[in-house]
A and B are shown apart, each in its own frame.
Chain A
Amino acid sequence: DTGVSQDPRHKITKRGQNVTFRCDPISEHNRLYWYRQTLGQGPEFLTYFQNEAQLEKSRLLSDRFSAERPKGSFSTLEIQRTEQGDSAMYLCASGQGGNQPQHFGDGTRLSIL
């Protein structure tokens, strides 16, 4: 068990650019979750996958955001035409669903110039 891995750890980009983050979950976990955490706040749910199916999306996930998990293993989160308000820590978690805990990666910190 190598834990949840996220790449990159930090991303600095100019407003209007597209960015993509990757998450590799714990291999035996069928669920993968994305959260966003802004400074001084708790994480907020964005979306989750069961295997390759995206089953739920938060209203926070605007049309500029898209997440995929093509083979039910790793996932990518893409933000198009980034805005200042997108600056945050993006956290990925994996788990087995139900009442089981989620295991978090160290996150990707996005800074928009």
Chain B
Amino acid sequence: AQSVTQPDIHITVSEGASLELRCNYSYGATPYLFWYVQSPGQGLQLLLKYFSGDTLVQGIKGFEAEFKRSQSSFNLRKPSVHWSDAAEYFCVHNAGNMLTFGGGTRLMVKP
């Protein structure tokens, strides 16, 4: 079945440390992929999107993601995490008519 997998349910990093959140997909054609962030009790905010072309995409808040077809991955990265980045992060596949979400990774930031 086509799906999006986020292997890490929880991740804790120290403020100022680098971050990488993993995402794997299982779609045959070039997928349309997004990363969204959700703060507690809030809706979802788009961080970045990948359609085609350059495999490294830049997003808001200093985030970037790299699409690697050979590894079926679309990992999210940030060089230096801020306390305000603590939230739930979702890797998402866009099938045109609907979004399919991964299970999410909850990021906690230690002072």
- The answer to whether A and B interact is yes
Chain A interface: which size bin? 20 to 34
Q: Are A43 and B99 in contact (CB under 8 A)?
A: yes
- Surface stretch bound by A, among B11-19, B64-72, B89-97: B89-97
Q: CB-nearest residue of chain B relative to A3?
A: B43
Q: Are A45 and B51 in contact (CB under 8 A)?
A: no
Interface string of B32-53 (1 = CB under 8 A from A): 1010100001111110010100
- Cα A33 to Cα B34 with chains together (Å): 17
Distance in Å: Cβ of A26 to nearest Cβ of chain B: 13
Task: Point out the residue from A6, A43, A48 that lies within 8 Å of B101, measured CB to CB.
Answer: A43
* B100 contacts chain A at the CB level, 8 A cutoff: yes
Distance in Å: Cβ of B43 to nearest Cβ of chain A: 4
Q: Which residues of A contact B98 (CB under 8 A)?
A: 33, 45, 48, 56, 58
* A106 contacts chain B at the CB level, 8 A cutoff: yes
In chain A between 31 and 76, which residues have their CB closer than 8 angstroms to a CB of chain B? 33, 35, 40-45, 48, 55-56, 58
Task: Mark B residues whose CB is within 8 Å of A.
Answer: 32, 34, 36, 41-46, 49, 51, 90, 94, 96-104
Task: Mark A residues whose CB is within 8 Å of B.
Answer: 4, 6, 33, 35, 40-45, 48, 55-56, 58, 91, 93, 97-99, 101-107, 109
